[in-house]
Amino acid sequence: MPASFLLLLAAQFMSALADNALLIVTMALLQQRAMPDWLAPMLKVAFIAAYVLLAPFVGPLADAFCKARLMAWMNAVKIVGVLALIAGVHPVIAFLVVGLGAAAYAPAKYGLATELVRSDQLVSANAWIETAAVCAVLLGTGLGGFLVSPWLLNHASHVVFDKFDPVLPSLLILLGVYLLAGALNLGVPDSGVRHAVGSLRPGAMLRDFGRSNRRLWRDPDGGLSLAVTTIFWGVGATLQFAVLRWARECMHLSLDRAAFVQAAVAVGVIAGAVAAGRWVPLVHAKKMLLAGVLFGVLMIAVPFVTQLNLAVAVLVVVGAVGGLMVVPLNALLQDRGNALLSAGRSIAVQGGNENASVLVCLGVYSGLVAVDVPLPALMVGLGVCVALALAAMMLRQRSRGRQAPVQTDEWRAGANA
């Protein structure tokens, strides 16, 4: 990988690390201000809603400007959100501001990655990005836990005036992390790639997003890979909450141990992403649909595991199979999106669909929990739906009798062979 890509990777890792730590710190802030418990999930809803709301607009912005500089500006928007928390703005509103920065950050990050590496390096580059993202979730959650730990808060109480929130030192530390991420972004060289964006009026951008969305969905390879990644991230967000609840209710674990069990899925995703980056070329991306079917089948088995060690092992395998599926298909989606649209537009379409899926899946999950659907039945139903959906896609793909061409030198070499 070129040094410019590794610098981009470091910048996005630091920014995502701060995002995940900020969620934990903001939840502690809700408790400090004696706010209702139901506001905690609303923080994530606000963060994800920003992705969906801005999806039509962030793609053209990423295409029109230097992506590395745009990422640095979006880190500045995140800093504004943290400053709003310090100033006493409602945490959900402040977290929405952070989400606005993250929403515009995503297409610039993925778009720049496609411009810094060759087409035959896309799967490997995606493996690096997904691995860094999952590591940021794990380490960011750990960092957030440390920043709200009694030891740090008690220590900080000796150096901070009582009129401030006890988590003020934690927020100041996260400001420093965002500043570091912004500095790293400024060090990423400009790829020099610019795309015509047409009108920047909201109405024109909405129409352009609609056309881009339809074009990507109608493309055989683009629509297939977009469907898979949309299902995966929606189900993954739901699985995060379901596994935590399962570990506490069925395995009778405390919250900290339940979080450890939940982290097993993320560890598995890292392993699957690394394996995909090393052994799955772009030309074979669609063969990973079989891993998606296995992903759904394994989800069905999870609620029936009663031993902790076996549960951790099963969840690691679930995550690994998911990573093995999603990384190559994500690379295929970027390759087709870049060919059909542009880097920024395709990532914006992808982000809009995937985050809308997260909102829908979390809404359905919350509704089923509200009407007291048993957790094993819920997880079995989720696994069956995923397995059937991926099996249908795989059978449809095979029924075509041929693979749609992917516009890369590697594909042409494989086809000629």
pTM over 0.75: no
Average pLDDT estimate for 69-92: 90
Q: Do domains 1-122+132-186 and 219-395 have the same CATH topology?
A: yes
DSSP state of 120: G
pLDDT-derived band at 413 (thresholds 50, 70, 90) equals very low
Instruction: Indicate if the pLDDT at residue 160 is higher than 70.
Output: no
* pLDDT above 70 as % of the chain: 88
- pLDDT at site 343: 63
Ordered DSSP codes for 13-67: HHHHHHHHHHHHHHHHHHHHTT--TTHHHHHHHHHHHHHHHHHHHHHHHHHHS-H
Farthest CA pair distance, the chain? 72
d(CA 241, CA 258): 11
pLDDT-derived band at 401 (thresholds 50, 70, 90) equals low
- pLDDT at site 414: 42
Residue 287: φ, ψ to 5°: -70, -15
Read off the pLDDT of residues 10-41 as tens digits, 9 standing for 90 and up: 988 999 999 988 988 888 888 788 787 667 77
**Inter-CA distances, 111 with 247, 283, 350, Å:** 38, 20, 12
Average pLDDT estimate for 332-348: 79
**Inter-CA distances, 401 with 99, 293, 396, Å:** 43, 20, 9
Q: Of 119, 138, 123, which Cα lies nearest the Cα of 274? A: 123
Instruction: Indicate if the pLDDT at residue 297 is higher than 80.
Output: yes
Q: Of 108, 25, 96, which Cα lies nearest the Cα of 70? A: 108
- pLDDT at site 84: 93
d(CA 228, CA 141): 27
Read off the pLDDT of residues 238-268 as tens digits, 9 standing for 90 and up: 887 788 778 878 888 765 566 677 778 878 8
Q: Of 339, 117, 145, which Cα lies nearest the Cα of 225? A: 339
Q: What are the residue boundaries of the structural domains of the chain, listed by start?
A: 1-122+132-186, 219-395
**What fold characterizes domain 1-122+132-186?**
Growth Hormone; Chain: A; (1.20.1250)
Average pLDDT estimate for 369-394: 90
**Inter-CA distances, 22 with 70, 161, 236, 250, 287, Å:** 21, 22, 21, 29, 38
Ordered DSSP codes for 244-275: HHHHHHTS---HHHHHHHHHHHHHHHHHHHHH
Instruction: Indicate if the pLDDT at residue 408 is higher than 60.
Output: no
Provide the token pair at 39: 């506001």
pLDDT-derived band at 320 (thresholds 50, 70, 90) equals very high
Architecture of domain 219-395: Up-down Bundle (1.20)
Contact between residue 398 and residue 224 where contact means Cβ atoms under 8 Å apart? no
Instruction: Indicate if the pLDDT at residue 161 is higher than 70.
Output: no
* pLDDT above 90 as % of the chain: 21
- pLDDT at site 411: 38
